[in-house]
């Protein structure tokens, strides 16, 4: 059979596409689950410095917006046509989420050996008060019950007024499974009777090997698979329109994509931060509504 006749055979073409698809999956699994050197990545000081610079510039830009008395919530700063559509979606129970990129004088911020993921999301919780929302957010000991399977266990390590030190064991699975032990410094600020804010930053992230077994151990900080190296979250809460709006901006740092695998691995790596934030906001909405119904 010559080349022309093979390419015109629809069954043969379909079989070749199936084989190619299987080959891609096998390659993905081999690269990410086989020998340690194939996946391991070491966090470098220049990567940390670049992330710190990105966060610093982002916070300064946010502070300038607040000083100018711009709208408190991100959705209220959208153009009128987009804002109207977004508010309708929120009323239906959807999570509104979009990517953000902080620029330095109009230029991208280079992150050697790493990737920054920056997303902002909003959800509306009908019937919830600001007080009820903050009560749930600050009850970190119970987060393990509401955010499964992403949060395996949670605990308040210490609290001083509006400042918390929190432990979370995180579980991420999307072909690859990753278990992370993390600690976070969290600060809350109530602005008035209807508005509040919080900021959280990771102070420790360690990948867990053989989690839940007798051979469980923590890998050294920054010497792991690089699924999550740093994370900052910025929350805003506003009670209005018969409920409370919850907004979260999450800025995270991961390893970069292995050379030559961007076409295959890129969409996977980039999807996890988006999916995690969407899941978190969606579960926050349902949990607070459930709590409100129980105590009403």
The reported pLDDT for the residue numbered 281 is: 97
Whole-number Å distance between alpha carbons of 91 and 125: 8
Assign 225 to helix, strand or coil. coil
Assign 290 to helix, strand or coil. helix
Q: What would the pLDDT profile of 173-192 be if each residue is shown by its tens digit?
A: 766 678 999 999 999 999 99
Specify the DSSP class assigned to residue 112. Answer: T
Backbone angles phi, psi at 224, to 5 degrees: -155, -155
Query: What are the residue boundaries of the structural domains of the chain, listed by start?
Result: 35-295
Report the Cα 51 to chain-centroid distance in Å. 15
Residue 10 has pLDDT above 70, yes or no: no
Residue 17 has pLDDT above 50, yes or no: no
Domain 35-295 has CATH 3.30.530.20: yes
Q: What would the pLDDT profile of 210-256 be if each residue is shown by its tens digit?
A: 888 899 999 999 988 888 999 999 999 999 999 999 999 999 999 88
The reported pLDDT for the residue numbered 39 is: 57
Specify the DSSP class assigned to residue 227. Answer: S
Neighbours of 119 (CB within 10 A): 19
Residue 6 has pLDDT above 80, yes or no: no
264 pLDDT band, cuts 50/70/90, is low
């Amino acid at each position: 059979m010559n080349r022309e006749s093979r390419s015109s055979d629809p069954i043969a073409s379909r079989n070749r596409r199936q084989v190619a698809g299987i080959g891609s999956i096998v390659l993905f699994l081999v690269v990410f689950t086989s020998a340690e050197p194939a996946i391991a990545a070491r966090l470098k000081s220049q990567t940390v410095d670049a992330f710190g610079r990105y966060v610093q510039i982002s916070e300064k830009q946010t502070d300038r917006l607040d000083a100018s008395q711009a709208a408190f919530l991100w959705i209220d700063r959208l153009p009128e046509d987009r804002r109207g559509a977004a508010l309708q979606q929120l009323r239906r129970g959807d999570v509104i989420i979009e990517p953000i990129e902080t620029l330095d004088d109009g230029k991208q911020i280079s992150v050697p050996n790493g990737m920054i993921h920056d997303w902002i999301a909003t959800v509306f919780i009908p019937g919830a008060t600001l007080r009820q929302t903050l009560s749930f957010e600050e009850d970190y000991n119970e987060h393990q019950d509401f955010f499964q399977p992403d949060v395996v266990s949670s605990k308040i390590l210490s609290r001083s007024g509006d400042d918390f030190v929190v432990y979370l064991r995180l579980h991420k699975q999307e072909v690859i499974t990753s278990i992370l032990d993390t600690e976070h410094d969290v600060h809350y600020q109530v602005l008035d009777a209807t508005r509040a804010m919080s900021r959280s930053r990771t102070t420790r992230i360690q990948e867990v090997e053989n989690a839940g077994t007798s051979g469980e151990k923590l890998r050294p900080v920054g010497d792991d698979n690089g699924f999550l190296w740093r994370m900052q979250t910025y929350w805003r809460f506003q009670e209005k329109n018969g409920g409370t709006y919850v907004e979260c901006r999450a800025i995270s740092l991961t390893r970069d994509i292995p050379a030559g695998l961007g076409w295959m691995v890129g969409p996977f790596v980039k999807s996890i931060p988006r999916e995690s934030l969407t899941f978190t906001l969606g579960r926050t909405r349902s949990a607070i509504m459930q709590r409100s119904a129980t105590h009403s």
